[in-house]
Amino acid sequence: MSEHKFKVTYSTLASPDPLLDQMFDEAVARVRANMGQTFPMYINGEERFASQTFTKISPVDLDMVMAHFQKGAEEHANDAVAAAKAAFPGWRDTPWQERVALLRKAADLISDRLFDIGAIMSLEVGKNRLEAMGDVEETADLIRYCCDQMEANNGYSFQMKSETSRHHNRSILKPYGVWAVISPFNFPFALAGGPSGGALVAGNTVVFKPATDTAYTGWLLTTCFRDAGIPAGVFNFVTGGGRSVGQTIVDHPDIAGITFTGSYDVGMNILRTFTQGLYPRPCIAEMGGKNPTIISNKADLDKAAIGVMRSAFGLQGQKCSACSRILVHEDVKEAFVARLVALTSKINVGDPTIKDNWMGPVVNKSGYEDYQRFVADLAAHGDIIYGGKTLDLNGYYVLPTLVDNLPYDHPLWKVEMFLPISTIGSFSTLDEAMTIANDVEYGLTAGFFSEDPAEVQWFLDNIEAGVVYVNRESGATTGAWPGYQAFGGWKGSGSTGKAAGSRYYVPQYMHEQSQTVVD
Ligand code: UN1
């Protein structure tokens, strides 16, 4: 555990404290010395083991066996839902102030364990140290933000107007019941702990299933909730090597609501399932992006190039917020592309636990194979002006890749590749750029670079995206932080139109009851 407190955010990651590096290095050494353990599931406050396990190999080094996890079956998913259902009345009736106190404790434990969790995540996902530590701290802050909102809104109980002095009217938000949280590999802490924090503080109980690639950090999150004193059955953790555990949860009639973060196809399927029961159930689905950055001929091109480079290639482009489309005014295209290529060529790709490596491997074999398939298609129809190659290291390492001259009607202008590949296109008028920017199924994040305030306002007025950034060097489309930037998508990127880390988030985990009592 750390004795030092650091305030890590994605924006401060650009100039880290040297002590932060030292403590991270020490944590990596500790973690490497402790590989190969077997971890349980956690159901009803108890460790549960299945008849089979699956093994996590690090994408950083294919000889590194990180840990073994339970290959949960239907039975375990059912038990977890039953435990959460049984624990619901007690948790719902726990005063919200007590729930807030327990969740703040969990958030503090997460911050205390920053380095060890970050080191494991770096090896588990392939994140560089700052991205990994950012994810951990973002989780703690997402949970704290939910707690703050609960307080700021007095537990979401409001007095309404009265018809007469005998009428006492209130609007109260109440939790739904058992909430499922299904999280992706790319932000395995923030996109599991954030939704769980929202669900729990509101009074729901949780069944959590992490991505198979990131069961390790899923277990670590579970231990933070457990050690904070969240009661048995209130937070349950199940793992599975295939689809059956997740599918059992999604199909379970006792699941009252769900937060899913992942692909558009899976998210849309879950949404359909959630409207097809006896009655509609809430489904918060966060589903990817195809995020554009528009660079005007009035942009500061140095700012634009660094902002785009960071957002295109941070975490190997495996962010739903990644900048995967670069739209640049024809008059400044050559100058901009020269800057972007110069910055991209300086990126070190390698073991992400090593400080100098800014890009690690992609997360798994299927991402690695997708990369090669996409690159072949892009090389055939456009010009790969940087990258396009895998590296001969014992892991899933690929070069950051920039593609020019891909015709706008090529399908890869619209498909989310979720890899370090970004396509560059030009335009002659800003309106043309906006039409292209908005002509996708997604609407998660978007960036704009221009020094002209009128153009900035035009961008803000017309872009169809939930999270937008102007002239942001630390990330043209990535790097939202709870409380600073609400994070949620429009169109095919999100199902509710309300974002995480914002004042509208926690109410999504509750339904409203209007109470009228007459004397
Ligand atoms: C994601 O990209 O999958 O804004 C989530 C960001 C992070 C979260 C992104 N806070 O880039």
* 301-330 residue pLDDT tens: 999 999 999 999 999 999 999 999 999 999
Asked if the structure places residue 78 within a domain, the reply is yes
**Is 14 part of any domain?**
no
Which residue of 321, 444, 481 sits with most ligand 1 atoms within 8 Å of its CB, as the best mutation to test the pocket?
A: 321
**CA angle in degrees (0–180, nearest 5) for 401-402-406:** 125
Looking at the structure, tell me whether residues 331 and 183 fall in a common domain.
no
Residues 326 and 189 in one domain: no
CA-to-CA distance for 177 and 257, rounded, in angstroms? Answer: 8
Intra-chain end-to-end CA distance of the chain, in Å: 56
47 catalytic residue (yes or no): no
**Alpha-carbon distances, residue 30 vs 6, 23, 115, 353 (angstroms):** 20, 11, 10, 13
Specify whether 234 is located in the same domain as 297.
no
Comparing 142-146, 273-277, 420-424, 489-493, the range with the smallest average pLDDT is: 273-277
**Ligand 1 centre distance from Cα of residue 78 (Å):** 31
What CATH number is associated with residue 372? 3.40.309.10
Question: Is residue 166 included in any domain, yes or no?
Answer: yes
Atom of ligand 1 nearest to the CA of 261: 3
* 158 and 212 belong to one structural domain: yes
Residue 286: active-site member:
yes
Q: Measured from the CA of 475, which atom of ligand 1 is nearest?
A: 11
**pLDDT-derived band of residue 13, with 50, 70 and 90 as boundaries?**
low
**Euclidean distance between CA atoms 245 and 248, whole angstroms:** 5
Three-state DSSP at 178 gives strand
Residue 424 lies in a domain: yes
Shared domain for 305 and 273, answered yes or no, is no
Atom of ligand 1 nearest to the CA of 190: 8
- Do 501 and 469 sit in the same domain of this protein? no
Atom of ligand 1 nearest to the CA of 289: 2
Is the pLDDT score of 2 beyond 70? no
Does the reported pTM lie above 0.85? yes
Question: Within 10 Å of residue 516's Cβ, how many Cβ atoms?
Answer: 11
**Contacts for 150 with CB less than 8 Å, ≥ 6 apart:** 96, 99, 100, 156, 201, 202, 506
- When divided into structural domains, the chain yields a total of 2
Task: Give the confidence band of 16 by pLDDT, cuts at 50, 70, 90.
Answer: low
Q: For residue 454, which amino acid is it?
A: A
Q: Which residues line ligand 1 (CB under 6 A)?
A: 138, 186-187, 319-321, 478-480, 487
DSSP secondary structure string, 305-362? HHHHHHHHHGGGG-STT-EEEEEEETTTHHHHHHHHHHHHHT--BS-TTSTT--B---
CA 294 to the chain's CA centroid = 24
- Domain of residue 162: give its range: 32-287+496-518
480 C-alpha vs ligand 1 centroid, how far in Å?
6
Please name the helix (run of DSSP H) or strand (run of DSSP E) that holds residue 510, with its range, or none. strand 510-518
Q: Are residues 416 and 512 in the same domain?
A: no
Amino acid code (one letter) for 146: C
43 with 147, same domain: the answer is yes
Check 138, 286, 416, 473 and give the catalytic one. 286
Tokens of 253: 């009639």
What residue ranges in 339-441 does DSSP mark as E strands?
383-386, 401-404, 421-427
Task: Tell me which of 11-25, 135-149, 216-230, 475-489 is least confident.
Answer: 11-25
Q: Is residue 241 part of a domain?
A: yes
Check whether residue 302 and residue 270 sit in a common domain.
Answer: no
Indicate if the pLDDT at residue 12 is higher than 70: no
Question: Among 360, 359, 355, which Cα is nearest to 22's?
Answer: 355
In a domain, 10, yes or no: no
Cα 287 to Cα 261: distance, rounded to the nearest angstrom: 6
Looking at the structure, do residues 254 and 322 belong to the same domain, yes or no?
no
Residue written as token pair 């001259």: 405
CA distance 426 to 154: 51
Specify the amino acid at residue 228: A
Both 295 and 161 in one domain: the answer is no
Among 125, 183, 320, which is best to mutate for testing ligand 1, by the most ligand atoms less than 8 A from CB? 320
Ligand 1 center to residue 381 CA distance, Å?
Answer: 30
The yes-or-no verdict on residue 461 having pLDDT over 60 is yes
Of ligand 1's atoms, which has the minimum distance to the CA of residue 322?
2
In a domain, residue 472? The reply is: yes
CA–centroid distance, residue 188 to ligand 1 (Å) = 11
Q: Which residue has the tokens 């020490």?
A: 26
Q: What is the CATH number of the domain that holds 228?
A: 3.40.605.10
110 and 199 co-located in one domain: yes
- CA–CA separation, 87 vs 206, rounded Å? 10
**The one-letter amino acid at 433:** A
- Ligand 1 centroid–CA 320 distance in Å is 6
Structure tokens at 30: 């500790």
Q: Catalytic: which of 146, 224, 283, 320?
A: 320
Which of 468, 478, 481 for mutating ligand 1's site (highest number of atoms within 8 Å of CB)? 478
Strand partners, 443: 490
136 alpha carbon – ligand 1 mean position (Å):
12
For residue 221, name the pLDDT band (cuts at 50, 70, 90): very high
pLDDT in tens, 185-208: 999 999 999 999 999 999 999 999
Asked if the model's pLDDT at residue 4 lies above 60, the reply is no
